[in-house]
Amino acid sequence: MTPIEIKAKVLEYCRRPLAAVAALEDDDGQGARLLEPGSGKELRVRWDELEQAEEKRSDLRAAPWLVLVWHDQRQVALADVGFAFAPSTANTGPLPDLPKTLCFGDFRHLSQGIEQLLSEDGREKEALGGILLCIALLDGARALRLEVSREERRLDKLLKLLEQRGLKL
């Protein structure tokens, strides 16, 4: 695809009613800031750095999503949940039952679940599993160059709480 075709697809997708990602085109027309209002996240793209923009559908999801692929093969989906991306197990090692795609809404749910687990006796091992999922999620977001410092601070607090509780395997 040409940068012009990619630009047209992305801008059209982000202008749809109820789109979870908005696009603010750069003044020079060579790229855009993609904004996820639900999380306050921002992804900067340059049209000539993208190789593909493909809309996909599934019977399992009500709304279509747009997959953006960079020349270096990084990928993100613009979806009804906002930015959706693959987790990275570079710092966690393999994780059982790790979803292929996650989003920042998943981080919110996981971190709340971890907090709940840590308020109960004997649930430290389950909390650790949730923390590892969060690390993989944030590593995947970081690979896309998404800002994750707020989520890292939240995860640090949960890790400190786990350390205070001690891990009883």
At 134-162, the pLDDT tens digits run 999 999 999 999 999 999 999 999 999 99
Note whether residue 95 is domain-resident: no
Per-residue pLDDT tens over the stretch 45-65? 999 999 999 999 998 888 999
- Two structure tokens written together for 67: 């997959």
Give, as one character, the DSSP assignment of residue 135.
H
Task: Answer yes or no: is 46 within a domain.
Answer: yes
Q: How far apart are the first and last CA of the chain?
A: 52
Q: How far apart are CA 23 and CA 140, in angstroms?
A: 22
The percent of residues in the chain predicted with pLDDT above 70, rounded, is: 98
Strand partners, 53: 68
pLDDT, tens digit, 9 for 90 and up, residues 2-13? 999 999 999 999
Residue 64 lies in a domain: yes
| Structure confidence by residue, pLDDT tens digits, 13-49 | 999 999 999 999 999 999 999 999 989 999 999 999 9
Is residue 126 assigned to a domain? yes
Residue 79 falls within a domain, yes or no?
yes
- Indicate whether 9 and 74 sit together in one domain: yes
Once rounded to an integer, what is the mean pLDDT over residues 113-127?
Answer: 94
Q: What is the pLDDT of residue 165?
A: 82
Q: Where are the alpha helices (DSSP H) in the chain?
A: 3-14, 104-118, 124-143, 149-165
**Do 23 and 72 sit in the same domain of this protein?**
yes
pTM of the model: 0.92
Whether pLDDT at 169 is above 80: no
- What pLDDT is stored for residue 127 in this prediction? 95
Distance CA 169, CA 116 (A): 18
CB of 107 closer than 8 Å to CB of 138: yes
pLDDT band at 93 (very low <50, low <70, confident <90, very high): very high
On whether residue 127 sits in a domain, the answer given is yes
Q: Domain limits at 123?
A: 102-165
The reply to whether 24 and 79 lie within a common domain is yes
pLDDT at position 168 is 59
97, part of any domain: no
Angle between helices 104-118 and 149-165 (to 10 degrees): 20
**Angle at which helices 104-118 and 124-143 pack, to 10 degrees?**
160
Strand partners, 83: 78
Shared domain for 108 and 161, answered yes or no, is: yes
Distance CA(84)–CA(98), nearest Å, equals: 14
Q: Which two tokens stand for residue 25?
A: 């085109």
The domain that holds 73 is classified in CATH as 2.30.29
- Could you give the number of structural domains in the chain? 2
